[in-house]
Structure formats: structure tokens, C-alpha cells
Amino acid sequence: MKSKKPRIAFIGMTSCKGCFFEFLLIGRKLVNLFENIEIRNFWLLKEFNDEKGEYDITFMDGAVSTEREAEELRDVRGRTKFLIAFGTCACWGGIPSIRNYSKDYRKIVYPKETKHPPKDSVDPIDKHVKVDYYMRGCPINEEEALEVIKDLLVGKKPREKDYSVCVECKKRGTRCLLKEGIICYGPVTYAGCNAPCPAVGTPCDGCRGPLPDGNLGAEVDMLKEKGITMEEIKSVFTRYAGSSEKFKEVKE
């Protein structure tokens, strides 16, 4: 008799794999969840994986940095019903996409021929396939991952957070770091993390990527008033989301 449990896969491309480990930190709640799903592919948990099967839900981690990864991604998309961009690398290109701004990276990082040569650019996965849900963050938020799976199990399409980190700071009662003169990117960054960084006095550095309606111009003007150079501003805006057209709008 075939299992009626949703078939779930966790597949990785170019990344540090930290989002996978963060997912496992859900702990006991995750063990209880496993009773209702069937993990078909998760290299961190299973010795033998169904790498060519069909999946109901796929968590795709990492950016696309080689043609081989692009081909694998398209293959997985054809075998999965619901594809989740898992973490900032998958959503925006993440840290690996910093190489897009270097002219000499091939010479420095790949001085010799490689079996799988790098693409000219590091891409978020939606440049190659359709994405059904974006789970942003570097790393992802464990509770968000748990909430998304629960929603899908009951046939509910999960809803992405379409407001800024500032909203979550207010919900937590966290003091505003900007009002204290501390540089923070919360006003222009996607929420969904529950704003843990500002809660302990660490400013948001935009790891979840830019809100479409975030006022980047005002943020840049404020940072420049505080003595931050455009080079420094752009380095932060491209650290996680260098592929974002929104961040590319930042002018001198």
C-alpha cells in the first residue's frame, strides 16, 4: 500500500548548508511533525535517498552557480508539486552572489579547469524555475519553516510576510535602534524572522532581502547623514541580495 503522507525533499545547491542545520534545531516539534510526512530526500538525515522520485514539497536550498545545478534544479521542479526557495541564497543569490561583482574571481578561485565550471553569474533559483514560496533568511527561521509545513499539510497555501522587520520589532516591544542613532536596515527588509537581532541590540543587516515597497532612497539618505559612504551602503545591500533589482536602484 502506498504511503498517503506528503513526500518531502530537502535539496541543496551552492550554500553553506546552514539553513538545513537550522531546520533541525526545531527539535521535538520536528520529531512530532515527521509522523505526518515522509522524508524522501534529505542527505543530512538519511543515508539512502530517493533522488529521482516525485515530491509533494521540495525545500530547495542554495544559489545556482553552475550549469549542472541549473539542470538539476529544472529536473527537480518537474518532479515536485510545491517548490520552496529555502533561505536567502535560494531567494536572492545570497553570499555566493558576491562574486557577481568581482571581475577576477575566476582567476582567483578557479585557477585550473574544473569538472563543473562556474556560470558567469550566481543566480537565485527563480531565475531558472517557478517558485511557490520564498522562505527568506540567513539562516531561515525555524518557526516559519514549521508553520509553512503545517499549512501545506492541511491544504492551506502559506502566506509570505509582506511587511518590514520594524513591524515585528513593534510587536515584540523592542526599542527602535534607529531612534538611538544605530544604523539598522529593518525598515527596508522583509519580515518573517520575528526580529531577533534588534531584540538583543544588534541592528538588522537586511539578510531577508528588500521589500518591494521599502523606501530605499530614504534609508540611503539617512545612512549618508550618519557618515556612511555609498561604497559601504552598497556592500550591505548586495551582501545577501545582490540579484535584487530593488537594491540595484541605489544611486550615488
Tens of pLDDT, residue by residue over 89-100, are: 999 999 998 888
Q: Report whether pLDDT(21) > 80.
A: yes
pLDDT for the residue numbered 185: 93
Same-domain pairing of 133 and 172? no
The model's pTM:
0.90
Ranges assigned E (strand) in 67-143: 80-86, 118-123, 133-135
Provide the domain limits for residue 52: 7-153
Q: Report whether pLDDT(3) > 60.
A: no
Same-domain pairing of 147 and 184? no
pLDDT band at 140 (very low <50, low <70, confident <90, very high): very high
* 160 part of a folded domain: no
* 159 part of a folded domain: no
**How many structural domains comprise the chain?**
2
**Mean pLDDT score of the chain:** 89
* 169 part of a folded domain: yes
Q: Report whether pLDDT(156) > 50.
A: yes
Nearest to 169 by CA among 204, 142, 194: 194
Same-domain pairing of 147 and 172? no
Q: Check whether the bond before 139 is cis (ω within 30° of 0).
A: yes
